[in-house]
Amino acid sequence: MLILTEIWIYPIKSLGGIRLDQSEVLGKGLRYDRRWMLVDGQNRFFTQREFPDMALFTITQHGSLFTITFKNESLLLDSEAAVASDPIECIVWNDSVLAHEVSPAHSSWISERLGTSCKLVAFPEKNPRPVPLEYSVNNESVSLADGYPVLILGQSSLDELNNRLPSPILMNRFRPNFVFTGAPSFAEDEWKEFSIGEVKFKVVKPCIRCVMTLVNQETAALEKEPLRTLATFREFDKKIRFGMNVLVLTEGQVKEKDLIRLN
């Protein structure tokens, strides 16, 4: 029996995640997932790949309000508040998107604590960012995630990795949206379509893993694992695969302990 055991969103790209007991699923992905990001002076996105201390910013949710915390200091982010600027053309990987600076005060607060100048920008729900054409089904768009609306990963897959590692690591190294139980390790590699409740999804490609998985999410320290071990049994065509990228075919609600049905 396949069971959805964890639901995660990461409201600000590359900052801390929030575990939910239920979530609304929209075409771009889970509501509030990666709808904000940090950009530099050229409006290019920040991630933990270059700034591992981004892991030290945690986020909590209270309805439409989010609290960003760094050490003992906090900042409120209102998802419904008007943004302070005209659209800015921002870069996420090879994509150009129109986003808005939340406010100079938000940008300054994060810049001071991260130790580098940046802007916090919001990506409106209506603004497009098409998924790669070769994987599109219905001209889907994605949020500010690396490439696809949803990432799913089996608990058994992490367990198999941890059995091979010198020291086990947490699921948060891989930043999935959905975690499930009830299948052998890497069963998700073979999935084509699945449903959670009334919400339908299509699995389109493996998630290719990079140095960001080396960042300890509790300390921001850069470690040697898990890429070294993953390369010994999850490398295909010189790329390390772990987890699967997913499109949303129908919108709706999902909650922890929902059954997952393979279609």
- Whole-prediction pTM: 0.97
**Per the structure block, which two tokens stand in for 54?**
């981004």
What does each of the 263 residues of the chain score in pLDDT, given as a tens digit?
A: 999 999 999 999 999 999 999 999 999 999 999 999 999 999 999 999 999 999 999 999 999 999 999 999 999 999 998 887 789 999 999 999 999 999 999 999 999 999 999 999 999 999 999 999 999 999 999 999 999 999 999 999 999 999 999 999 999 999 999 999 999 999 999 999 999 999 999 999 999 999 999 999 999 999 999 999 999 999 999 999 999 999 999 999 999 999 999 99
Tell me how far apart the alpha carbons of residues 178 and 180 are, in angstroms, rounded to a whole number: 7
Question: What is residue 42's three-state secondary structure?
Answer: coil
Query: Per-residue b/e over 5-40, b at no fewer than 16 CB within 10 Å?
Result: bbbbbbbbbbbbbbebeebebbbbbbbbbbbbbbbb
Q: Which amino acid is at 243?
A: G
CB 142 within 8 A of CB 26: no
Tell me how far apart the alpha carbons of residues 72 and 88 are, in angstroms, rounded to a whole number: 31
Domains, the chain? 3-262 (2.40.33.20)
